[in-house]
Amino acid sequence: MTAWIHSLAFRFLELFQEWANPWYWVLLGSILFTFGLLGWSPIQQETTTKNPTLTTLIAVYLRRTGLKALAILLVFLPFMILLAGYSINKAQFPAFAEHMAVFFWEGFVGVLGFPLVGYALGFVLSVTYARFMVPKISAIKRRFRVRQSGDELSDIRVEANRMQAKHFDPKDYYRPDEIFFGLDENGQPISVKEETWMVQNQRYIGPTQTGKGVLIGVQLDQAIRHNHTVIFIDPKPDPYAFSIMKQACLETNREFVALDLNDEQVFPMKYELFAGGSYRDRLGRFIACAKLESTGNESDYYHRKERAILNEVFPKEPFSLRTLLGLLEQVPYQEKTGTSCSMIREMLHVRSLDVEPDEGMLNLADILRNNRVLYVRSSLHDSVVKAASTMLITEVIQEVMRLKAERHSHVFLVIDEIAFLISETIADALATMTSFDAHLCLAYQSEGDLLNGHDTKINWKAIAQRVKTNSKIHLYYRAEEFDTAQIMADKSGTQVKAVTRAQRVSMGRHLEETWEGDRDIHGVEEAFIHPNVAMTLPERVGVFFQPTQTAQVLYTSWVPVEIFSIPILPATPHAPNFPTMNTTQTSEEKTPSRVKISRGLSPLSGSHTAPAPHEK
Q: What is the largest CA-CA distance in the chain?
A: 159
Instruction: Give the model confidence (pLDDT) of 438-471 as tens digits.
Output: 999 999 988 888 887 676 677 888 888 888 889 9
Helix (H) or strand (E) run with residue 494 in it: strand 494-507
Burial of 477 (0-12, 13-18, 19+ CB in 10 A): buried
If you average pLDDT over each of 171-175, 204-208, 593-597, which comes out highest? Answer: 171-175
pLDDT given at position 359: 83
pLDDT given at position 516: 65
Q: Given CA atoms 107, 112, 116, 121 in this order, what sign does their dihedral have?
A: negative
Q: How far apart are CA 27 and CA 73, in angstroms?
A: 9
Burial of 284 (0-12, 13-18, 19+ CB in 10 A): middle
Where does the pLDDT of residue 594 fall: very low under 50, low under 70, confident under 90, or very high at 90 and above? very low
**Plot region of 51 (φ>0 → left; ψ -120 to 50 → alpha; else → beta):** left
Angle between helices 25-38 and 54-71 (to 10 degrees): 140
Q: How far apart are CA 275 and CA 254, in angstroms?
A: 26
pLDDT given at position 295: 73
Its pTM surpasses 0.75: no
Which residue would you say has higher pLDDT here, 570 or 180? 180
Question: Residue 430's closest CA among 398, 464, 470, 397?
Answer: 470
pLDDT given at position 599: 39
| Percent of the chain predicted with pLDDT > 70 | 83
What number does CATH give the domain 149-267+362-493+528-616? 3.40.50.300
Average pLDDT, the chain: 81
208 Cβ partners below 8 Å, 6+ apart?
A: 445
| Percent of the chain predicted with pLDDT > 90 | 26
Q: How far apart are CA 578 and CA 269, in angstroms?
A: 11
Task: Characterize 94-111 residue by residue with b for buried, 16 or more Cβ atoms within 10 angstroms of its Cβ, and e for exposed.
Answer: eebeeebeeeeeebbeeb
Q: How far apart are CA 490 and CA 221, in angstroms?
A: 32
Question: Residue 361's closest CA among 317, 318, 390, 328?
Answer: 318
Q: Given CA atoms 464, 467, 469, 475 in this order, what sign does their dihedral have?
A: negative
Instruction: Give the model confidence (pLDDT) of 10-58 as tens digits.
Output: 788 888 888 888 888 888 889 888 888 888 877 776 654 566 777 778 8
Instruction: Give the model confidence (pLDDT) of 497-512 as tens digits.
Output: 766 666 667 666 666 6
Asked if 276 and 286 count as a contact pair (C-beta separation under 8 A), the reply is no
Which residue would you say has higher pLDDT here, 358 or 374? 374
Instruction: Give the model confidence (pLDDT) of 524-563 as tens digits.
Output: 777 778 888 888 888 999 999 999 888 899 999 999 988 8
522 Cβ partners below 8 Å, 6+ apart?
A: 498, 499, 501
If you average pLDDT over each of 171-175, 237-241, 566-570, 582-586, which comes out highest? Answer: 171-175
Asked if 306 and 292 count as a contact pair (C-beta separation under 8 A), the reply is yes
Mean pLDDT, to the nearest integer, of 161-172? 88
Question: Residue 303's closest CA among 294, 312, 311?
Answer: 294
pLDDT given at position 149: 56
Q: How far apart are CA 62 and CA 64, in angstroms?
A: 6
pLDDT given at position 290: 83
Residues of the chain with CATH 3.40.50.300: 149-267+362-493+528-616
Kindly tell me if the per-residue pLDDT of 600 is higher than 80. no
Q: Is the peptide bond before 237 cis (omega within 30 degrees of 0)?
A: yes
pLDDT given at position 231: 96
Kindly tell me if the per-residue pLDDT of 572 is higher than 50. no
Pairing of β 552-555 and β 541-545: antiparallel
Q: How far apart are CA 200 and CA 90, in angstroms?
A: 115
Instruction: Give the model confidence (pLDDT) of 377-415 as tens digits.
Output: 999 888 899 999 999 999 999 999 999 999 999 999 999
Q: How far apart are CA 453 and CA 460, in angstroms?
A: 6
Asked if 414 and 233 count as a contact pair (C-beta separation under 8 A), the reply is yes
Give the CA radius of gyration of the chain: 44
pLDDT given at position 615: 38
Spell out the alpha helix ranges (H) of 44-133. 54-71, 77-88, 93-110, 114-128
Pairing of β 201-205 and β 471-476: parallel
| DSSP tag of 175 | B
Which residue would you say has higher pLDDT here, 539 or 160? 539
Which residue would you say has higher pLDDT here, 149 or 223? 223
